[in-house]
């Protein structure tokens, strides 16, 4: 009976260990997926901001319709619900390719405040971009500042 | 004088060639950036749709708030202006990593129609997802169908 129990225990133990490993793999995949999804969002920010920046710098001729489209995209992206994009354990020490500093999860109110600053700046850009080049240029500072404030505090430097 | 002109011509020729190369590099980078940006958008679609799908299949417990957040994200993403994301010349024969078939640019009205179908299905999902699990499940078919219709017609199979 003791032997029977220990065999059952060993089988269960193996099964639990296998289950735990699968669970860990699934958990790691979920963390990696969230990391990639937030990086995708950053890439879309950058793509739309790049178009606005090219106009602001005079590299591309100002186009009211294109400026409004890019600014509306940026504002819509900044308003997305990001609650699933930043799971604890997806920092740069834990997930390959992540540049998110662990400090994020120790300073969530500040992170949320910086995120809100970006949404506010992007909404102001959305309102300004289609007016004229000077209005677009005037709105760039707050957007760039909001990006930079969060990156400076919470992102590892690029290699 | 003839020699002088031909030297100038050679210098100008080199300069023009160099300029053209730089212009081509810039053009290729723009095509690659647009390709990566639309792939980022697809990734965000997939991330949010994955959460809805997990609930629909019963892998994750139905959560009205989380379902609404994911569905609203999906609908917002589907409403983004994509006019800069699909430049001609960014097909799978022209840009590394692109899976977009050249047929896209030969059938733009159909592509726009399929894109509109996704936006409609995502808006219906946004309205349904928070009601209850059955409503979420009922809205999945049209969303999945819209994704699949475009991928089947206009995307190369995965390797």
For the stretch A22-67, pLDDT in tens is 788 999 999 999 999 999 999 999 999 999 999 999 999 999 999 9
Q: Is residue B85's pLDDT more than 60?
A: yes
Taking the CA of residue B6 and the nearest CA in chain A, the distance in Å comes to: 33
Q: Does B73 contact A51 at a Cβ distance shorter than 8 Å?
A: no
pTM score, whole prediction = 0.86
Q: What pLDDT is stored for residue B159 in this prediction?
A: 59
Which residue of B37, B50, B72 is in closest CB contact with A43?
B37
* DSSP assigned state of B98: -
Cα distance between residue B39 and residue A96, in whole Å: 20
Q: Please report the ipTM that was assigned to this predicted complex.
A: 0.85
Taking the CA of residue A45 and the nearest CA in chain B, the distance in Å comes to: 9
A113-117 average pLDDT score: 97
Is B81 within 8 Å of A72 (Cβ atoms)? yes
Cα distance between residue B24 and residue B27, in whole Å: 5
Confidence tier at B9 by pLDDT (50, 70, 90): very low
Q: What pLDDT is stored for residue B48 in this prediction?
A: 98
What phi, psi does A97 have (nearest 5°)?
A: 90, -15
On chain B, the residues whose CB falls within 8 A of the CB of A36 are: 43, 47
Beta bridge partners of B100: B155
Which residue of A37, A81, A84 is in closest CB contact with B43?
A37
Nearest 5°: CA angle at A58, between A54 and A59? 55
Is B27 within 8 Å of B84 (Cβ atoms)? no
Beta bridge partners of A100: A155
Mean model confidence pLDDT for chain B? 90
Confidence tier at A10 by pLDDT (50, 70, 90): very low
| Span A55-112, pLDDT tens digits | 999 999 999 999 999 999 999 999 999 999 999 999 999 999 999 999 999 999 999 9
Taking the CA of residue A1 and the nearest CA in chain B, the distance in Å comes to: 38
B29-54 average pLDDT score: 98
What token pair was written down for B64?
């009205």
What token pair was written down for A126?
């959305």
Q: Does B37 contact A51 at a Cβ distance shorter than 8 Å?
A: no
Q: Is residue A16's pLDDT more than 60?
A: no
Residue with tokens 């710098």: A57
Percentage with pLDDT > 70 across chain A: 86
For residue B55, which of B3, B108, B132 has the smallest C-alpha distance?
B132
Q: Does B47 contact A33 at a Cβ distance shorter than 8 Å?
A: yes
B53-68 average pLDDT score: 97
Cα distance between residue B91 and residue B88, in whole Å: 7
């Amino acid at each position: 009976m003791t032997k029977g129990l220990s065999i059952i225990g060993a089988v269960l133990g193996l099964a639990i260990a296998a289950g735990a490993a699968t669970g860990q793999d699934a958990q790691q995949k979920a963390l990696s997926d969230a990391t990639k999804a937030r990086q995708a969002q950053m890439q879309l920010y950058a793509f739309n901001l790049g178009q606005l920046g090219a106009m602001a710098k005079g590299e591309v001729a100002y186009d009211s319709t294109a400026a409004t489209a890019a600014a509306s995209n940026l504002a819509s992206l900044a308003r997305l619900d990001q609650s699933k994009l930043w799971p604890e354990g997806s920092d740069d020490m834990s997930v390959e390719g992540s540049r998110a500093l662990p400090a994020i999860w120790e300073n969530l109110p500040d992170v949320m405040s910086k995120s809100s600053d970006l949404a506010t700046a992007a909404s102001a850009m959305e309102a300004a971009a289609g007016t004229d080049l000077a209005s677009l240029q005037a709105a760039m500072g707050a957007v760039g500042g909001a990006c930079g404030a969060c990156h400076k505090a919470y992102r590892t430097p690029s290699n």
